[in-house]
């Protein structure tokens, strides 16, 4: 297996592929001001196996297009949607987030949890705007510095992993510069990282390594995750995911 196949193998059975929580998705929905009964059309970009997709379809009664470039995750999502009786409201789309096939001004909202970093926050918010109806909602979670200053070890690690990591005020400025009006912000609580993401992942490591005959590549993936987990445990006061809810301006 190559590295991408190994990552799919590690994450496909998971409830989520990044930090998050159903309650926090609901909080973002509440901040968006959207309500049920409006026949909403929403895209969930970088949906993974669809934890947020299901909340959006269920709580808003929306038609949700779940987009990811990995068909293996979309297959899990479809099965879970069917089991929850939500398959009539959720459709999957295998596409890359930097080449989306939506029509201009066709969506009431775009959600994206823990995924926009794959194309970069600035490029993502800039290029997705045209798909939103005027006044439409963008809701994204994104790696964020929680304080003005932080330990050098932490800063170096994340700047190497993701050059755009920044403070909430800097992210909101990018939203404003790209034709959005920020309407809500919160930071994901620690349990979204630890209870919902890292601990379940750690429980999958042993089987993952066994399935892959303890290959060097599999061990390297586990070591990198363990390093990141230890870093988060030490420095969770300084770094987290910010959840940004913004409205497309009307021009
Ligand atoms: N939103 C989900 C998954 C977050 S992990 C959750 O919170 O659980 C990031 C997701 O983005 C993965 O599912 C990955 O397959 C997807 N992804 C990465 N690069 C992508 C790209 N270029 N286009 C579409 N999806 C991408």
DSSP class of residue 85 equals T
- Tell the residue nearest (CA) to atom 5 of ligand 1: 17
- What is residue 250's predicted lDDT score, i.e. its pLDDT? 77
Query: Is this structure's pTM higher than 0.85?
Result: yes
158 in helix, strand or coil? helix
CA-CA-CA-CA torsion for 197, 202, 203, 204, nearest 10 degrees? 90
pLDDT digits (tens, 9 = 90+) for 125-148: 999 999 999 999 999 999 999 999
Residue ranges of domains in the chain, CATH in brackets: 18-189+237-248 (3.40.50.150)
DSSP class of residue 1 equals -
pLDDT digits (tens, 9 = 90+) for 72-82: 999 999 999 99
- Is the beta carbon of 73 within 6 A of some atom in ligand 1? yes
What whole-number percentage of the chain has pLDDT above 70? Answer: 100
Q: At what angle do helices 3-11 and 216-235 cross, to 10 degrees?
A: 60
What whole-number percentage of the chain has pLDDT above 90? Answer: 98
- What is residue 251's predicted lDDT score, i.e. its pLDDT? 76
pLDDT digits (tens, 9 = 90+) for 52-74: 999 999 999 999 999 999 999 99
Angle at 129 between CA 42 and CA 179, to 5 degrees: 130
What Cα–Cα distance (Å) separates residue 51 from each residue in 18, 24, 46, 251? Answer: 10, 11, 11, 33
**DSSP bridge partners of 243:** 141, 186
- Is the beta carbon of 51 within 6 A of some atom in ligand 1? yes
């Amino acid at each position: 297996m190559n590295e991408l196949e190994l990552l799919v193998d590690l994450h496909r059975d998971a409830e989520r592929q990044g930090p998050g929580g159903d309650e926090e998705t609901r909080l973002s929905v509440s901040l968006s001001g959207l309500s049920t009964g409006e026949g909403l059309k929403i895209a969930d970009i970088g949906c993974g196996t669809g934890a947020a997709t299901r909340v959006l379809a269920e709580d808003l009664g929306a038609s949700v297009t779940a987009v990811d470039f990995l068909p293996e995750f979309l297959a899990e999502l479809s099965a879970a949607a069917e089991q929850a009786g939500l398959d009539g409201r959720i459709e999957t789309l295998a596409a890359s987030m930097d080449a989306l096939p939506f029509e201009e001004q066709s969506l009431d909202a775009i959600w994206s949890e823990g995924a926009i970093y794959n194309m970069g926050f600035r490029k993502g918010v800039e290029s997705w705007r045209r798909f939103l109806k005027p006044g439409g909602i963008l809701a994204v979670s994104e790696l964020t510095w929680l304080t003005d200053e932080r330990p050098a070890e932490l800063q170096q690690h994340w700047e190497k992993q993701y050059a755009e990591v920044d403070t909430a005020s800097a992210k909101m400025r990018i939203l404003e510069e790209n034709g959005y009006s920020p309407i809500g912000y919160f930071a994901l609580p620690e349990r979204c990282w630890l209870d919902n993401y890292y601990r379940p992942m750690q429980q999958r490591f042993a089987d993952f390594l066994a399935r892959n005959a303890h290959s060097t590549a599999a061990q390297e993936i586990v070591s990198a995750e363990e390093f990141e987990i230890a870093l988060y445990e030490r420095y969770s006061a300084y770094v987290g995911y910010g959840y940004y809810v913004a409205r497309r301006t009307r021009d």
